[in-house]
Amino acid sequence: MKKSLLLSAAAMAILAANAETKIYTSDELGIIGGVSSNGRYAAIYDDENNLGYIWDAENPEEFKLIDGVESGKVELYAVSDNGIAVGAYSVKGTYYYYPCYVTPDGTVHDLPRVPHTLYTNYATCVNSDASVITGYMHFNDPDPDIPGKYTPAQWFRNEDGEYDVVIYNDLDLPPHQGFITTAASEDGRVIAGRLYCAAGSEIPALVVDGELKYWNKLETRIEPFIYKGQILDYYEEYYIDGFHDGANAEYFSGQFSDMDAWGNVYGYRTHVEDLNEETGEGKLVMTSCIYNYNDDEWWDMPNTGGVQGFSCGLNREYMFTRGNRMVVAGEDVDEVKSLTSEFGFSAPMSITGVIRCSKDGKVLGANTELSNPATGEYQYFPMLIVLDEPLVEDPGSGIEIVKGNDMTLLLSTGRIDIIGGEGYVYDLNGRLAGIGSTIHVAPGAYVVKVGEATRKVMVK
């Protein structure tokens, strides 16, 4: 993508046809990476020019360029409620990217890495107060045919305000390119993304409490190579849900794209129909999907009416998809509606979809596209849609962070997480309730002991 000079008339703030809805765009190229939970900030990246921008609702006509790394440039993929953005910066003259965070004053800070990482390392998600950052790192893989494997990583802020890194390098990842992180829960215990597998497929997957979770059956079968009736060799063939992956240049496609505060994870996935179990042939069908990690339930919608995968959503009441479309949950059916008609505004260019939204849906982060008449290539530009009223009621985080007494605790419904260490949890009668870094408990009061330090907490 190259910067376009075609948008000067449409640039910056644009008032919508409906005065209650406002949209803001820019003549700088970029893609929405994230919108903060409270809707104040948006993170934007231009991955071809390696640039990052911050949008602030208090100064909505400015898209602030972050250019604070002397050795390279910064791409931004998510931003917290207090304006801390996360992403990666490039090293000048190389293709190496290192994870970083940017404070509101524009200063770029390294996030700690581990040795032996390769050239692609990103921070992709951040929670509301920037206490938990999620991303991935690139490591060598023992398989000589694979030039590295993407592995989930998280950074937890400690009492000194610095970040400690945790690498999930003990996951049983399939022999392929690994796991790309796209979203994470507020407490960081659920990581969503895209898992590379089989001959060249991608499927939606989670990392929950440090364990890899996916729903497709992956098989590697050793099959003979037969020539003129003789077995000359044996080779590996890959199957997903019984389908011979890649045999006819057909592959699974799917990922989780985002999650909301109610535990819903939005994305798309592939299903097999009319499977011939002997040959592994069948018909691959795509659906838009939502998975709720609290109740372990799926909801799928056929890719019809312009719906091609969910990019984000709000409590399954509003589901955003590609183009100028969204799905609104009705009493009996789910209706596909036009963004511009539903919210009453006119877009300066074609909308490619809402990518991220604030927790209550008042601020929607969308992308637009324009074909360059000189080259025919599409160029992409960010657009923020600010509604007059929220779409849903903000549920709150349900999470409390407790610091002090030489420990940092994350309290959420039915569990206590000890950040950066392990400890003991007792009820008020002195009975041991659990040992470790994550302890599941019933609602009530508990005493947490880490080393010589103790702390009394209340769990909902």
Residue type, 113: R
Do 346 and 293 reside in the same domain of the chain? Answer: yes
Residue 31 pLDDT: 95
Residues, the chain: 460
Q: Is the distance from CB of 251 to CB of 245 less than 8 angstroms?
A: yes
* 249 CB neighbour count, 10 Å cutoff: 7
Do 368 and 406 reside in the same domain of the chain? Answer: no
What's 215's DSSP letter?
Answer: -
Do 213 and 240 reside in the same domain of the chain? Answer: yes
Do 262 and 286 reside in the same domain of the chain? Answer: yes
Q: CA triplet 222, 179, 208: central angle to 5 degrees?
A: 105
Do 325 and 300 reside in the same domain of the chain? Answer: yes
What's 6's DSSP letter?
Answer: S
Residue 72 pLDDT: 61
**147: Cα separation from own chain's centroid:** 23
Lookup result for tokens 């060598």 = 140
Strand partners, 226: 231
Do 269 and 406 reside in the same domain of the chain? Answer: no
Do 368 and 422 reside in the same domain of the chain? Answer: no
Q: Is the distance from CB of 214 to CB of 195 less than 8 angstroms?
A: yes
* 53 CB neighbour count, 10 Å cutoff: 25
Number of domains, the chain: 2
Lookup result for tokens 């002397």 = 70
Domain-embedded: residue 321: yes
Residue 6 pLDDT: 33
Query: What is the secondary structure of 282-318 as a DSSP string?
Result: EEEEEEEEEEETTTTEEEEEES-TT-----EEETTTE
List, in order, residues 6 or more apart from 96 with CB less than 8 Å away.
90, 119
Residue at a domain's end among 325, 353, 386: 386
Residue at a domain's end among 386, 414, 448: 386
Domain-embedded: residue 286: yes
Domain-embedded: residue 99: yes
Domain-embedded: residue 4: no
Do 278 and 334 reside in the same domain of the chain? Answer: yes
Q: Is the distance from CB of 357 to CB of 266 less than 8 angstroms?
A: no
34 φ, ψ (degrees, to nearest 5): -160, 155
End-to-end CA distance of the chain: 49
Domain-embedded: residue 440: yes
Largest Cα–Cα separation, the chain: 77
Residue 460 pLDDT: 76
By DSSP bridging, strand 230-240 and strand 218-227 are antiparallel
* 80 exposure class (CB count in 10 Å sphere: 0-12, 13-18, 19+): buried
Do 285 and 195 reside in the same domain of the chain? Answer: yes
Q: State if pTM tops 0.85.
A: no
Domain-embedded: residue 5: no
Q: Is the distance from CB of 56 to CB of 40 less than 8 angstroms?
A: yes
Structure tokens at 140: 């060598």
Domain-embedded: residue 214: yes
Name the residue among 307, 259, 363 with its Cα closest to residue 32. 363
Name the residue among 286, 123, 137, 125 with its Cα closest to residue 192. 125
Q: CA triplet 351, 203, 314: central angle to 5 degrees?
A: 45
List, in order, residues 6 or more apart from 61 with CB less than 8 Å away.
12, 13, 24
Gap between the Cα atoms of 456 and 258, Å rounded: 34
Lookup result for tokens 């032996």 = 116
Structure tokens at 293: 């990690």
Q: Is the distance from CB of 140 to CB of 147 less than 8 angstroms?
A: no
Structure tokens at 61: 């006509």
Secondary structure string (H, E, C) spanning 16-46? CCCCCCEEEECCCCCEEEEECCCCCEEEEEE
Residue 68 pLDDT: 60
Structure tokens at 260: 């909301």
> Which domain CATH number covers 201?
2.130.10.10
Strand partners, 400: 411
Do 179 and 323 reside in the same domain of the chain? Answer: yes
Do 257 and 227 reside in the same domain of the chain? Answer: yes
Residue at a domain's end among 338, 363, 386: 386
Gap between the Cα atoms of 299 and 292, Å rounded: 9
By DSSP bridging, strand 190-197 and strand 179-184 are antiparallel
For 323-336, b where at least 16 C-beta lie within 10 A, e where not — what string? Answer: ebbbbebeeeeeeb
449 lies in which domain range? 400-459
Residue 458 pLDDT: 83
Gap between the Cα atoms of 371 and 369, Å rounded: 7
Structure tokens at 317: 């009441």
Domain-embedded: residue 393: no
Name the residue among 220, 221, 322, 204 with its Cα closest to residue 269. 204
Gap between the Cα atoms of 400 and 396, Å rounded: 11
CA atoms within 13 A on the CB side of 428: 8
Do 247 and 341 reside in the same domain of the chain? Answer: yes
pLDDT in tens, the chain (460 residues): 333 333 333 333 444 444 589 999 998 899 999 999 999 999 999 988 888 999 999 999 999 998 765 556 899 999 999 999 999 998 777 778 899 999 999 899 999 998 878 888 999 999 999 999 999 999 876 555 556 789 999 999 988 899 999 999 889 999 888 999 999 999 898 999 999 999 999 999 999 989 999 999 999 987 666 666 677 667 788 999 999 999 889 999 999 999 999 999 999 999 999 999 989 999 999 999 999 998 899 999 988 777 889 999 999 999 999 899 999 986 556 788 999 999 999 988 999 999 999 999 999 999 999 988 788 888 999 999 999 999 998 776 667 778 777 788 888 777 898 887 899 999 888 889 999 988 888 878 899 999 889 998 888 7
